[in-house]
Structure 1
Amino acid sequence: MGRHSLPDQYGAGASDPRRRARRRTVAIATVLVLAVAGGTAAAVRGGLLSFGSSCQDDPVRLTLAASPDLAPALESAAKRAREADLTSDGRCVAVTVSAREPYKVTDTLLAGKDPGAEVWVPDSEVWLQRLTATGGTADVSTVGHVASTPVGVAMEPTVAKSLGWPEKTYGWLELAGAALRDNSLRLGAADPARSATGLLALTRLSTAAAGVEGGDTQAAAMMKALSQRISDSDGQVLDTLPRDSSGTEQGNPRRNQALVVSEQAAYAYNTAADGDRSLDFFYPKDGSPRLDYPYALLEQTGLTTDQSRAAIRFMSYLDDPPQRRLLERHGFRTSDDEVPDALVAGAGGSGPQPYAEPAARPASAVALQETLGVWTITVQSARITTVVDASASMSEPVPGSGRSRMDVTKAALQRALATFTAEDEIGLWDFSTKLDGAKDYRVLVPTERLGDRKGTGTQRDRLSAAFGDLAPVPNGATGLYDTTLAAYRAATGSYAEGKFNALVILTDGRNEDPGSVSRADLVAQLERLTNPERPVPLIMIAVGPDADREEANRIAEATGGSGHEVSDPSQIQSVILKAIVEAASRDGQG
C-alpha cells in the first residue's frame, strides 16, 4: 500500500527505553568531557546543552488535515507520539490533527488559498486527481498511504436477509437494481461530487452498466433515482437510517434501509450502536473499490525542510505495529494481504461474501470524470444546445481510424446522447458558411425535452437521426464567429430555470468568414449577454490539428465557460462531461 521504510536517521524516536537510557549515558559523558575541558559555560551558551529541558521545548509543529473518518485514529496516534517523545533529527514531532472534509480542502487548494495545514490525508486519491484534472496549481506530494477500506453496500439485517445475505452475492448493477427497482428498498449514498465513496461506487456501477445492452440509459435512470436520497457527506448518510430499533421508523419513507458506505463506516456504526441496530455488509462480487488514504505534503504552505522530514517521520511511525493495530481498532485495513476477521465481522461482513478479494482496479481519472459529468447532468437535468462544424475540413480522415472527423464526431455525440435522461433538453445546430441564406448556421433540431413525443418518435429519436445525417458541406468554410454569437443569444434567451444550461460548440478550424463580426466584438457581445444569475457557459471544443485552442478558450471564458482541445474526435464525449463538471463547480462556488 505504498508504505515506506525510513533510514535510521528518521527512526530515532524515543519509544524504546533502552534507547533513552543510551542517550542519557551519552549526554552525561558529554557533560563530563566538556566540564573537564573547561567549556561547559560556552557549551550551554552555544545550545549544545540544555539542563532540565526535553525535546518538547522546541518541537517541530505540524497541522495535519485528515478525512473525518480517519481523524480520530490519527489524533490518538499523534498523542502517543507526543507521549513517547517521537523525534525527527533530535526534535520532538508535535502533530495537531484537524478533521476536514476532503472536498472542502480540494476547493481551498483549487482556489489557491492556504488550507491551514502542512500535511493532508484525504480518504482517496480521487481528490488529488481532481486537483490535476481541473488544472490546479496546488503543489502536493504524495509520499505514501496510511490505510484502506473497501466500499460496499450496508443494509439493515431484515432487508439483507430478504436478499439472501450472506450466501447470495451480487454485482454492483444487481445491488443497485434491487434497491431501486421499487420503493421496497430505500438506498442512500453521499453526493458523488463531495464524496469519494459515492463517486467510486457510482463509477463501478457505470462500468458495470456499460457492459450490458441499454446499460447507459439504465445507469442514468439509477443515478436519477439515487439522487433523490443523497446526503452531503459520508457522515450524514449514516444519519438517514432509522433512529431506533423498535420498528417505528422502518416505514418512514425518509429513512434509508441500505447505504453505499465504506467497510470502516459500517464498522464504526456497528461498534457504536446497540446490537439490534447493526448493519449487514455486502461486498459486490465484481469488485469493491477502496478508499486508500494518501499521505500528502502541501508544499505551497511554505513547508520547511524540518517539517517535511518530521511529516515523513510521523508517517513512518504510523506503520509501526502498535499504530497499525490502533488503525485496525478504528475499522481500517492496514494490509493488502491480511484481513482481520474481527474487523469484517464488526462491519457486518460474513462469508461467503468476497470480503478478502483484492480491491477492484482503480478507476482511471477519465472514467471518474465521465461519471461525475453524467451525475451532474442527471441530478440537475440539463438544457444543452450542441453546435457542430460542418465545414469541408470535417471530411478529413482521422489518422489510424479509417473514418472522417465528422464520422467520429457523430459517433461520439451518439454516445453522449445515451447519458442524458428524458428530462434533459438537447438541441442541434450545424454551421459552415451561408448554410441558410446569408446565415452561416441552421437549426436542425430545436432544443427540447428528450422525452417529448411528436408524431411517432421522441426528441431523442429525432436527435439520434439528425446526428446520423450530419455531413460536411462541400467547399464550406468555417463561419465560427457569427454562429457563436447567434447560438449564444438563443441559449441565453431560452434559459431554463433549475437546469444546467450550456452551449457546446465543436469546430475543427478558425473563423473563415471575412464578413463576420470581429473576435473582439464577439467577446464584447458575449460578455454583455452573460448573466451570473442565469449562467450559460459556452463550452468550445477545438477538434483536430487545425483548430485553435487558445482562441476557443478566450471566446468561451467571456461567458464563464471553457475551451478545450482534442486531437481525436472520439474524445469529445469525455471532454464535454469534464467541461460540464468544471462549469457546474464554478457555478456552485459562485
Structure 2
Amino acid sequence: MGRHSLPDQYGAGGSDPRRRARRRTVAIATVLVLAVAGGTAAAVRGGLLSFGSSCQDDPVRLTLAVSPDLAPALETAAAQARDDDLTSDGRCVAVTVSPRESYKVADALLAGENPGAQVWVPDSEVWLERLSTDGDTADVSTVGHVASTPVGVAMVPTAAKSLGWPEKSYAWLELAGAALRDDSLRLGAADPARSATGLLALTRLSAASAGIEGGDTQAAGMMKALSQRVTDSDGQVLDTLPRDSSGTEQGNPKRNQALVVSEQTAHVYNSAADGEGDGLDFFYPKDGSPRLDYPYTLLTQTGLTTDESRAAIRFMSYLRDARQLRLLERHGFRTSEEDVSDALVSRAGGSSPQPYTKAPVRPASAVALQETLGVWTITVQSARITTVVDASASMSETVPGTGRSRMDVTKAALLQALSTFTAEDEIGLWDFSTKLDGDKDYRVRVPTQRLGDREGAGTQRERLSAAFGGLEPVPDGATGLYDTTLAAYRAATGSYAEGKFNALVVLTDGVNEDPGSISRADLLARLERLADPQRPVPLIMIAVGPDADREEANRIAAATGGSGHEVTDPAQIQTVILKAIVNAASPDRRG
C-alpha cells in the first residue's frame, strides 16, 4: 500500500488559529508521549521491565464515543489490543467502543453534558467547528485522524448507466441537477443538520452555484427538492434504496435511485449485497469530493486523567500499526491520500476513469458551513421573518475601510440575505428612528407577506428589494429602540404562521435614545408575557457597530427565547442572521 498517512492540512483546514495552535502543541506532546509509551511497551515485551503481575489486573479503562460507521472497525481493534496486551506506562489499555451519532455527542457537549466517554471520534471536523462557532463551550483536543473517506453520489446500476457511468464524470451541480430534473432518478441524502456527509455535499453545491448567474435561486431550488427526500441520519439513508435488484421498485415513489453517501458507506452496502443482487455504482464529482476525516479527539472536560490521556494517545498510535491499517481498509476506509486502494474503490462501486484518486478539496470554512446550514434551515422549513432596521442619523457614519456608510453596507447585506429565501418564505420590512410616523418611532415599509405573492406589476420580493435599496438615515434622528421592539414583536406574535419558522430580526447601531419610551424593565416584562413556547417567535437582535450594546441586545432577545449578536462590520449581517436562524430553528436547541 505504500506510505500511510492522512495529511494534516486536510484535517486542519478551515479551523481557527487557536485550534491549530492547540493541535500543534498536542502534536508535540503526542510525539513525546508515544516515544515513552512505545519504549515502555517494547521493554515490557522484551522482558527488560517486570511488573510482577499481568497488566490486565489494573488496566486503564477508556470509553470511545465513535461514529457508527467507524465503530465496527474500532471494536475489532480494541479486542486485538486486549489480545496483544497493549500497554501504556506498564498498564493494559482496556478500550470500550460506544457507537454514537456525531450530532448527538456534539449536542451533549454544547449543552455542557458529560457524553460518558474520554475520547470522541466523530466522522468529521465539521462537529468540532460547530463546538467552536456555537460558543466554544467544550474543551477538546484533536491528536490525529483515524481514517478518511470521500463523499460522492452512489446510484443503482440502471440509474448510473443512464448517466454514462463510469466513463462520464460530473460536477456536483450537474449530478444534483440530473437527479432533480428527472423524477425517475430520485436523489436522497441525510439531514445536513445531523449529517456531516449531507452538510459537506450541500456546501459544495452552494459553493458551485455561487459562481454562476442565478446560482442562488438554483441552489435554493435544489435544496427545496432535496429536502423532500432526506432521512434523519446517515444510518437510515440506505433504507431508502429500492428493494428489488432492478433498481426501480415500480409504484413506490418513496424509494431513491441515487444517494449522497461516503465511499465507505457504499463499500459496506456492496459488501453485504454480494450474491444478493446488484450493488451500487459510485460517482466521484470531478470538481472534488469533500472528505469525512474522523478526528481522534480527547474530551478533557470530562475529567480526563493523565493516565487516561496517555492511554488514549497510545491507542491512537496502535491504530496506525500496519495490521490496524489493513483492518480499516477492509472496512472500506482510506488510510492514505497518496496511495488509494483500487480494490477498496472497486468494492465501493467506483471504477476508472472516475476521478477517485483526485486530491480532496480543502475543507469548507466554518462560515461557509454555517451559511449553508442557515440557507438549508429556512429553505426546508420556510420562514416568516420581519426585519426591523435602525434608520437613526448614526447609520450615516462611515464603516472604516469601506468608504460606505453603515446604512449602505447594511442594505447590501440585507439584499444578499434576501436572495437566500424562496418564494414560499414570508418577509417584511420596518424601519425606525424617533417620531418617524407621527408620534410613533417606527413605520411599516413593506408588510410581511409571501415573497412569491404578486400585487400589481411586481412580486413581494421585488417590493422588498426596492424598499431595502431605499432605506436612508433620518437626519438628526435618534434611536427609538424600546417602543419599536415591543410594537414589532407584538405584531410578529399576533401574525404567527403555523408550520413556518417565525422570527423578528432587529438591527440597531445604538442604544435607546427616546426619553419618552417605555423603560427597559417594562420592555422585558412585556416581551416575556408575549412570548409563547408553543408558538415561538425568537427575537434576533443584532448590534451593529462600536456604539451598539451587545449585552443589552442579549438581554432583550433572551426574553423571547431569541439571541443577541454583535457585528463590527454590517457586511457580516447575513452570516449572523443565518447562524441565529439555525440555532433558533433547531428542535434540539428549543428543547
In the superposition, the TM-score normalised over structure 1's length comes to: 0.93
Q: Whole-Å Cα distance in 1 between the matches of residues 399 and 436 of structure 2?
A: 25
Alignment of 1:394-543 (within 5 A): 394-543=395-544
Change (3 A) 1:58 1:221: same
Task: Return closer, same or farther for 1:13/1:81 CA change in 2, 3 Å cut-off.
Answer: farther
Distance 2:327 2:122 in 1: 19
- Which residue is 2:18 aligned to? none
What amino acid is aligned across from residue 320 of structure 1 in structure 2?
A: D
Q: Does 1:355 align with 2:382?
A: no
Aligned residues: 563
Q: Distance in 1 between matches of 2:251 and 2:157?
A: 15
1:569 partner letter: P
Residue equivalent to 2:298: 297
Contact 1:451 / 1:458 at 8 angstroms: preserved in 2? yes
Could you report, residue by residue, the CA deviation over 1:307-330 in whole angstroms, capped at 9, with x for unpaired residues? 000000000000111101110110
Report Cα offsets for 1:420-456 as digits up to 9, x if no partner: 0010000000000111000000000000000111111
Residues 69-93 of structure 1 show CA distances to partners (whole Å, capped at 9, x for unaligned) of 0000000000000000000000000
Partner-residue secondary structure (3-state), 1:69: coil
1:588 Cα deviation (Å)? 5.3
> Contact 1:270–1:278 at 8 Å: present in 2 too?
yes
Match of 2:14 in 1: none
Matched, 1:10 2:11: no
Are 1:433 and 1:440, in contact at CA under 8 Å, matched by a contact in 2?
A: yes
CA–CA distance in structure 1, aligned partners of residues 248 and 142 of structure 2: 48
> 1 CA distance for matches of 2:269 and 2:258?
13
Partner secondary structure for residue 35 of structure 2 = coil
Contact 1:535–1:587 (CA under 8 A) maintained in structure 2: no
The yes-or-no answer on 1:265 pairing with 2:292 is: no
One-letter amino acid of the structure 1 residue matched with residue 143 of structure 2? V
- Match of 1:257, as an amino acid? Q
Q: Which residue pairs with 1:110 in the alignment?
A: 110
2:35 is matched by which residue type in structure 1?
Answer: D
Amino acid paired to 2:296: Y
Residue 187 of structure 2 is aligned to residue 187 of structure 1: yes
Q: Which one-letter code corresponds to 2:131 in the other structure?
A: L
Please state whether the residue corresponding to 1:560 is helix, strand or coil: coil
RMSD (Å), alpha carbons? 1.4
Q: CA deviation at 1:244?
A: 2.5
Structure 2 CA distance for partners of 1:13 and 1:258, relative to 1, 3 Å: farther
Supply the distance in 1 between the matched residues of 2:396 and 2:35 (Cα, whole angstroms).
Answer: 64
Distance in 1 between residues matched to 2:83 and 2:590, nearest whole Å: 42
**Residue of structure 2 in register with 1:83 after alignment:** 83
Conserved? CA contact 1:549–1:563, under 8 Å: yes
Contact 2:146 2:293 in 1 (8 A): yes
What letter matches 1:8 in structure 2? A
Three-state SS of the structure 2 residue aligned to 1:9 is helix
Name the counterpart of 1:335.
336
Q: Hey, what does 1:33 align to over in structure 2?
A: none
What residue in structure 2 maps to residue 46 of structure 1? none
Q: Secondary structure at the match of 2:36?
A: coil
Partner AA of 1:446 in structure 2: P
Aligned to 1:244, what secondary structure does the other structure show? coil
Distance in 2 between the 1:7 and 1:372 partners? 39
Residue type of the alignment partner of 1:277: D
Alignment of 1:244-283 (within 5 A): 244-245=244-245, 249-274=249-274, 276-283=277-284
CA shift at 1:587, angstroms? Answer: 6.4
Contact 1:78 1:94 in 2 (8 A): yes
* Offset, 1:182: 3.0
8 Å contact kept, 2:394–2:473: yes
2:317 aligns with: 316
Give the aligned partner of residue 22 of structure 2: none
| Structure 2 residues without counterparts, runs of 5 or longer | 1-5, 9-26
Q: Deviation of residue 20 (structure 1)?
A: 5.8
Contact 1:295 1:315 (8 Å CA) reproduced = yes
For 1:587 and 1:355, how far apart are their aligned partners in 2?
36
Q: 2:46 aligns to what?
A: 22
Q: Percent identity?
A: 81
Structure 1: runs of 5 or more not aligned: 28-48
Q: Post-superposition shift, 1:8? A: 2.9
The Cα shift of 1:251 comes to 4.7
How big is each residue's C-alpha offset from its partner over 1:537-575, in whole Å with a ceiling of 9 and x where there is no partner? 000001111111111111001100011011111100000
- The 8 Å contact of residues 382 and 500 in structure 1, kept in 2 or not, is answered as yes
How far does the alpha carbon of each residue in 1:250-302 deviate from its partner, in whole angstroms, 9 at most, with x for none? 55211000000000001010111135331111111111000010000111111
Corresponding residue for 2:580?
579
Shift of 1:334: 0.6
- The letter of the residue matching 2:292 is L
Q: Is the 8 A contact 1:410 1:467 kept in 2?
A: yes
Asked whether the equivalents of residues 125 and 294 of structure 1 are also in contact (C-alpha less than 8 Å), the reply is yes
Q: What SS is found at the alignment partner of 2:464?
A: helix
SS of residue matched to 2:586: helix
Structure 1 residues 587 and 453 mapped into 2: Cα distance closer, same or farther (>3 Å)?
A: farther
Deviation at 1:12, TM superposition (A): 4.3
In 1, are the aligned partners of 2:44 and 2:90 still within 8 Å (CA)?
no
3-state SS of 1:8 partner: helix
CA contact (8 A) 1:479 1:512 kept: yes
Quick check: 1:210 aligned with 2:210? yes
Q: Note closer, same or farther for the CA distance 1:478–1:92 as it changes in structure 2 (3 Å cut).
A: same
Which deviations, in whole Å up to 9, do the C-alpha atoms of 1:358-409 show, x marking residues without a partner?
1111000000000000111111000000000001111111111111111111
Residue identity matched to 2:46: R
